Amino acid sequence: MIYPLLPIFLAGVLGTSSTFIGAIEGVAETTASLLKLVSGWWSDRMTSRKPFVVIGYLLASIVRPFTAAARSASQVLAIRVTDRIGKGIRTSPRDALLADSAPAESRGLAYGFHAAADNAGAVLGPLLAFMILKLHGVGMLDTSKRLSSHDEFAIRNVFWLSAIPAAIAMLILIFVVRDVPKRDQGSQTKASLQTDRLSGKFWAYLTVVLLFTLGNSTDAFLLLRASQLGVPVALAPILWAVLNFVKSATGTYGGQLSDRIGRKPLIVGGWLLYAAVYFAFAWAGAPWQAWALFAVYGIFYGMTEGTEKALVADIVPRTRRGAAFGWYNLAIGLGALPASLIFGWIWDNHGAPSAFVFGASLALIAAVMMAIVAPSRPIAAN
């Protein structure tokens, strides 16, 4: 409910520049990624991963609706950082728990289904936001100017109401979801944790992921670009819902396909598709093109979101999965800050087309390197 309206709120209500919008997202994601490393490493040494998940989601659920009370971009930054601290605590233990719970031959399916379920929730949220905005009478808005007090009130109201589904989700997580013990917990001794090492192919894979991430700026810029192309602000939640619907519809199939043909074809193909979409965003000139590109962009996520995580689980020892996912998420976070800052700076100084060409070019280079680095076998035996 909040995310598709956040860049519009920052630009049209708080008067934030594109560069600072990029800084907010970059700092928030980098903070989360640093904690993902710590929480993943720690969860390898604990018998239960659920406490990490509960604490992480609880923190985010409490602070996120308070975006509605923000009166400056710095306050939004503080809220986003706190929100991402929660994400940092929960993500790596959750990803490792999925790997512990799924058979090796269905690992891609497990991660693909998780991504699909996550994105399905991201479809309903923007639709609810759209309904609330329509009930408030919000229509076509000019984001280059300050929004009216009426429209500002409507957007802030959406932010406050997001606390309701967050509270419901927390009740289900705490009282219904049960922890799944790590397999063969007794064998995960201190000695095994000390002797198991993350391989060279894992670090090579991580390096290429970092390169791709440097060209993968926050999707908030896609929403701003859509607004430039003439998509009404009131339709931004619907546009976001379209993206997440495609992500959800293709995520399970993409992960399952990687179990059959291997992780490399899905990742390389997805990154090439990403480059094509970014090149197209650079030269798009009509609202319908934004809608079409958002839909195609969702296929990129369906091909890669679960597959990239499945490949991490494929190439690391079972006893080091928490730490491995921590390093994986850290690499993405370390790239997120400079990626969003660079993209925003290019946008402000050279225009949106140049920024999108930059992102597409890095994706092309990373795709070529991934074709060399990634193992060809579909799954690992660990």
pLDDT tens digits, 73-92: 889 989 988 998 999 999 98
The pLDDT of 238-260, averaged and rounded, is: 90
The pLDDT of 281-302, averaged and rounded, is: 93
Q: Using the predicted structure, report yes or no on whether residue 264 has a pLDDT greater than 60.
A: yes
Residue 200 has, within 13 A of its CA and on its CB side, a CA count of: 1
Residue type, 91: T
Rounded CA-CA distance 275/370 in Å is 14
- On whether the CB atoms of residues 161 and 132 are closer than 8 A, the answer is yes
Q: Using the predicted structure, report yes or no on whether residue 7 has a pLDDT greater than 50.
A: yes
Q: How many CB atoms lie within 10 A of CB 81?
A: 18
Rounded CA-CA distance 28/82 in Å is 8
- Tell me if residue 70 falls in helix, strand or coil: coil
Which residue has tokens 């959750």?
94
Tell me whether residue 16 is exposed, middle or buried, using C-beta atoms within 10 angstroms of its C-beta: 0 to 12, 13 to 18, 19 or more: buried
First to last CA, the chain: 39
Q: How far is CA 126 from CA 1, 12, 123, 289, in A?
A: 5, 19, 6, 20
Given 3-state DSSP classes, what are the helix, strand and coil percentages for the chain, each rounded to the nearest 5? 80, 0, 20
Where does the pLDDT of residue 377 fall: very low under 50, low under 70, confident under 90, or very high at 90 and above?
Answer: low
The pLDDT of 37-52, averaged and rounded, is: 86
* DSSP for residue 93: H
Q: Using the predicted structure, report yes or no on whether residue 11 has a pLDDT greater than 90.
A: no
| pLDDT, position 195 | 53
| pLDDT, position 192 | 52
| pLDDT, position 48 | 80
Domain 3-176+198-373 carries which CATH code?
Answer: 1.20.1250.20
Q: What is the pLDDT of residues 317-353, one digit of tens each?
A: 887 888 899 999 888 878 877 888 898 899 989 988 9
| pLDDT, position 298 | 93
- C-alpha torsion sign, points 281, 114, 265, 373: positive
Which residue has tokens 């291997």?
262
Residue type, 329: N
The three state secondary structure string of 267-278 is: HHHHHHHHHHHH
- On whether the CB atoms of residues 254 and 300 are closer than 8 A, the answer is no
Rounded CA-CA distance 273/303 in Å is 10
* DSSP for residue 2: -
Please state which of the ranges 21-25, 172-176, 218-222 shows the lowest mean pLDDT: 21-25
- What is the residue extent of each domain of the chain? 3-176+198-373
DSSP string, 186-237: GG--HHHHHH----HHHHHHHHHHHHHHHT---THHHHHHHHHTT--GGGHH
| pLDDT, position 336 | 75
Average predicted confidence (pLDDT) for the chain: 85
| pLDDT, position 380 | 46
| pLDDT, position 376 | 66
User: Which backbone phi and psi does 317 adopt, to 5 degrees?
Assistant: -65, 150
Which residue has tokens 């497990």?
110
Q: Using the predicted structure, report yes or no on whether residue 187 has a pLDDT greater than 80.
A: no
Q: What is the pLDDT of residues 349-372, one digit of tens each?
A: 998 899 999 999 999 999 999 999
The pLDDT of 176-183, averaged and rounded, is: 69
Tell me which of 197 and 65 has the higher pLDDT: 65
Q: Per the structure block, which two tokens stand in for 97? A: 């728990």
Of 382, 2, 1, which Cα lies nearest the Cα of 192? Answer: 382
The pLDDT of 142-146, averaged and rounded, is: 62
| pLDDT, position 189 | 45
The H or E element that residue 165 is part of is: helix 163-175
pTM recorded for the entire structure: 0.76
Q: Using the predicted structure, report yes or no on whether residue 138 has a pLDDT greater than 60.
A: yes
Residue type, 138: V
Q: Using the predicted structure, report yes or no on whether residue 303 has a pLDDT greater than 80.
A: yes
| pLDDT, position 247 | 92
| pLDDT, position 331 | 87
Rounded CA-CA distance 280/264 in Å is 24
Q: What percent of the chain has pLDDT over 90?
A: 36
